A and B are shown apart, each in its own frame.
Chain A
Amino acid sequence: MAEIKTAEVKIPPLKKLTNYPEKLAPGHRLCAGCGASIIIRQMYMVANALGYELIWANATGCVEVCTSIYPYTSWKSPWIHNAFENAAATISGVEAAYKALKRKGKLPTDKKVKFVALGGDGGTYDIGFQSLSGALERGHDFIYVCYDNEAYMNTGIQRSSATPKYANTTTQPVGSESLGKPQHKKWMPEVAAAHGIPYVAQVAPSHWKDFMEKFKKALLTEGPSYINAFAVCPRGWRSKEEEGILVTKLAVETNYWPLFEVENGKWRITYRPKNPKPIEEYLKLQGRFKHLFKPGNEDKIKELQEEVNRRWEWLNRMEEISNREE
């Protein structure tokens, strides 16, 4: 398995990171307060500091559409959009071309590059699942980043397998016969880890230091990495734009969105809230859950809390089991 010599590489303090040029140009059409662009900017901060040129394959979705409306592009790196379900397959081709041209001594650059496939939860968990699995299994040297805003947001808030239970979406809406999505959220990092790839991480841009450390590790990993990033969506979640980072922090502090990594099969929770908050604190800031606060629905919130607890328990056990000395 690939070794990650991460301890020797240090990310400079935040102030130093401001000295590098912005690689995601402003003027993109993402909503005010969109979590996805925060994620991209934080990735660039690390890449800039470590001297990596990023080359992107972006699945159809919010980021792709809003950053590339002809003739405008917000990208200052090489970037390709192909279709909705094939970011991972596309980047496989780019990475293979790199290997081939390098072998022939025909690369147009000698700069350090890293290939990144970027997709929303739609293009990753659902329609992009197959091509992601293929690329992970084949072991291409790339980072797959999923900005998870828990629905097909670009086309109008339709449910995805990443949508949490009881969330209100336009294709499984709340109504007299329905309380929103009937199924619990599907979790991708576990699926990625099951492929046996060298590095998997779950991150949130509110905890930027943790995110940057993990992105650094992904950059230094030889082979595939998978990063699942929490992307707040004020429009789709009916939350306040200015509370974007607050909502993200609460997702982490309630253990709804645990921050963990899997390095060569060893699971590690990288942040443990000292006093985990009840899930209500997170839910109440979002209009997509407001029906749960009607009298009579208390047991639904309890159900969500139990699911959060179950997963947290499971993660802790995975950490314990995978780190046991034989």
Chain B
Amino acid sequence: MRPELIKEVKYVPYSGNMAAAEAMRQINPDVVAAYPITPQTELMQFFADFVANGLVDTEYIPVESEHSAMSACVGAAAAGSRAMTATAGPGLAYMWEVLGIASGMRLPIVMTVVNRALSAPINIHGDQSDMMGARDQGWIQIFSENAEEQYDNLIQAIKIAEDERTRLPVMVGMDGFVISHAIERVRLLPDRAVEEFIGELKPMYPLLDVDNPVTHGPVAMTDSYMEFKRQQREAMMNAYKVIREVGEAFEEAFGRKYEHIETYKTEDADYILIIIGSTAGTAKFVIDKLREEKGIKVGLIKIRTYRPFPYYDVMDAIEASNCKAVGVFDRAETFGAVGGPLYSDVATAMYLRNKHYPIVSFIYGLGGRDTNVHHIEEAIDKVMQAAAGKEVPFINYLNLNE
């Protein structure tokens, strides 16, 4: 029986990687297969320490590549066990083939992605192009703003993934280095409380049940492939409800509220920023500053659930405000489409509600480029110009050497 380390809620100075490792320790998955890649490396090292010191019951497989990491997780999950892993940037790119296999086979694998830029050029720093590149692979995608959110989100991810209405894998992203390595105040929950919250896995068609032999991963020809994809869409639609329910259960058990989005001072806002990840934190500071110093009413919608995208939550928040123009912040490029990935989702949301607002697209933080208070103020200035009917460039790179 592994030792119970945390018996009461406690506050610690932890980085995102430390918090994620702690969540994994408390979840105590059956199998973890992982390959190191900056800036995820620390996370797996912390977890490896837990394994080496008997603090978890996990079977830890130090695989020889990320492709094998996800492949082993698929094997372990199909066998009927709880499997977790973590990766970053090019590591996620390497396991790309198996992402679709994990979701197509409806395996509730939970993975941390320490968001890192994709090559080339090679860059180890934070940006969201990795998870954005994988957004159509059928995984539920949740983003964290800070270390404590990463911790809370991982715990909730287990319940979200394993719910019978979903049974989809979940990836939880946190900006590389900014969250993964920076020390913040994190609230840790008691070991037993986490165990109780996540409950026991109910495996579906486990390979290890040899008395009921099943075939996983057959060839589906033109006459059945599409039906399985329709099932996945149904599951993703159900996930929208499940994520909300788990967020409510989490609030009831532990007092912190989690929904698909977080709104910050949007009720009376004239201008709304839509951001994913750590920069939302900086934006909150800028919003407070502008309101106090200049009386400019800016608000923030922080996207937590990126897939399934919460179109109606976003529109409800915008419509309930005084919004005259929206600034969408993308920490990833699409190159061939207008704006970044989030831009398209926001534009679609407006189309679905049939309500059109001017949108200014901002590309920021690629390859770990700093985005500070000053840059966000510049961005807000452009949004204000757009609201006033002035011509503003469609796409704006923040803090670029022009």
Q: Do chains A and B touch in the complex (CB under 8 A)?
A: yes
A79–B219 CB distance below 8 A:
no
Question: Is B194 in the interface zone, CB < 8 Å from A?
Answer: no
Question: Is A69 in the interface zone, CB < 8 Å from B?
Answer: yes
Question: Is A68 in the interface zone, CB < 8 Å from B?
Answer: yes
| CB < 8 Å neighbour of B210 from A53, A86, A134 | A53
1/0 contact string of B257-273 vs chain A (CB within 8 Å)? 00000000000000000
- Taking the nearest CB of chain B, how far is it from the CB of A93, in angstroms? 3
B81–A89 CB distance below 8 A:
no
| CB < 8 Å neighbour of A80 from B31, B69, B98, B216 | B216
A134–B80 CB distance below 8 A:
no
Q: A104-B57, A108-B209 are in contact. Are A89 and B75 (CB under 8 A)?
A: yes
B218–A73 CB distance below 8 A:
yes
Set of chain B residues within 8 Å of A264, measured between Cβ atoms: none
- Taking the nearest CB of chain A, how far is it from the CB of B349, in angstroms? 35
| CB < 8 Å neighbour of A68 from B67, B71, B76, B219 | B219
Q: A57-B75, A83-B98 are in contact. Are A71 and B224 (CB under 8 A)?
A: yes
Cα separation A252 to B252 with both chains bound (whole Å): 70
A100–B72 CB distance below 8 A:
no
A78–B209 CB distance below 8 A:
yes
1/0 contact string of B62-76 vs chain A (CB within 8 Å)? 111101110111111
B101–A83 CB distance below 8 A:
yes
Question: Is B53 in the interface zone, CB < 8 Å from A?
Answer: no
Set of chain B residues within 8 Å of A98, measured between Cβ atoms: 79, 208
Question: Is B6 in the interface zone, CB < 8 Å from A?
Answer: no
Interface residues of B in 1-50 (CB under 8 A from A): 30-31, 33
Question: Is B292 in the interface zone, CB < 8 Å from A?
Answer: no
B217–A82 CB distance below 8 A:
yes
Cα separation A76 to B212 with both chains bound (whole Å): 9
Cα separation A94 to B210 with both chains bound (whole Å): 13
| CB < 8 Å neighbour of B67 from A71, A101, A131 | A131
B74–A97 CB distance below 8 A:
no
A68–B63 CB distance below 8 A:
no
Cα separation A292 to B221 with both chains bound (whole Å): 40
B78–A86 CB distance below 8 A:
no
Cα separation A307 to B217 with both chains bound (whole Å): 40
B57–A103 CB distance below 8 A:
yes
A55–B210 CB distance below 8 A:
yes
1/0 contact string of A104-139 vs chain B (CB within 8 Å)? 100111010100000000000000001101100110
- Taking the nearest CB of chain B, how far is it from the CB of A279, in angstroms? 37
1/0 contact string of A67-96 vs chain B (CB within 8 Å)? 011110101111111110110011111111
Interface size on A, residues (CB 8 A): 47
Set of chain A residues within 8 Å of B101, measured between Cβ atoms: 82-83
A134–B218 CB distance below 8 A:
no
Set of chain B residues within 8 Å of A113, measured between Cβ atoms: 208, 210
1/0 contact string of B130-171 vs chain A (CB within 8 Å)? 000000000000000000000000000000000000000000
| CB < 8 Å neighbour of B79 from A69, A71, A83, A94 | A94
B71–A107 CB distance below 8 A:
no
| CB < 8 Å neighbour of B215 from A79, A96, A100 | A79
- Taking the nearest CB of chain B, how far is it from the CB of A54, in angstroms? 9
- Taking the nearest CB of chain A, how far is it from the CB of B204, in angstroms? 12
Set of chain A residues within 8 Å of B31, measured between Cβ atoms: 93, 96-97, 100
A96–B98 CB distance below 8 A:
no
B64–A130 CB distance below 8 A:
yes
A92–B68 CB distance below 8 A:
yes
Question: Is A65 in the interface zone, CB < 8 Å from B?
Answer: yes
Q: Which one of A86, A133, A137 has the highest number of Cβ atoms from chain B below 10 Å of its Cβ?
A: A86
Nearest to A137 among chain B residues (CB) is B64
Question: Is B232 in the interface zone, CB < 8 Å from A?
Answer: no
A78–B75 CB distance below 8 A:
no
Interface residues of A in 260-287 (CB under 8 A from B): none
Cα separation A91 to B74 with both chains bound (whole Å): 9
B218–A94 CB distance below 8 A:
no
Nearest to A110 among chain B residues (CB) is B210
A70–B218 CB distance below 8 A:
yes
Question: Is A300 in the interface zone, CB < 8 Å from B?
Answer: no
Set of chain A residues within 8 Å of B210, measured between Cβ atoms: 53, 55, 77-78, 109, 111, 113
Which residues of A does B touch, CB under 8 Å?
Answer: 53, 55, 57, 64-65, 68-71, 73, 75-83, 85-86, 89-101, 103-104, 107-109, 111, 113, 130-131, 133-134, 137-138
Chain A to chain B: the 7 pairs with minimum beta-carbon distance, closest first: A93-B75, A134-B64, A93-B72, A89-B68, A81-B217, A97-B79, A86-B71
Task: Known A-B contacts: A85-B67, A101-B208, A108-B80. Give 7 more (CB < 8 A).
Answer: A78-B209, A82-B217, A89-B67, A92-B61, A93-B79, A94-B76, A100-B30
A-B contacts, 28 of them at CB < 8 A, read A55-B207, A55-B210, A71-B218, A78-B207, A78-B208, A78-B213, A78-B214, A82-B101, A83-B97, A89-B33, A89-B68, A89-B69, A93-B73, A93-B74, A94-B208, A96-B30, A97-B80, A97-B208, A99-B59, A100-B31, A100-B57, A101-B79, A101-B81, A101-B208, A104-B57, A108-B208, A131-B65, A134-B65
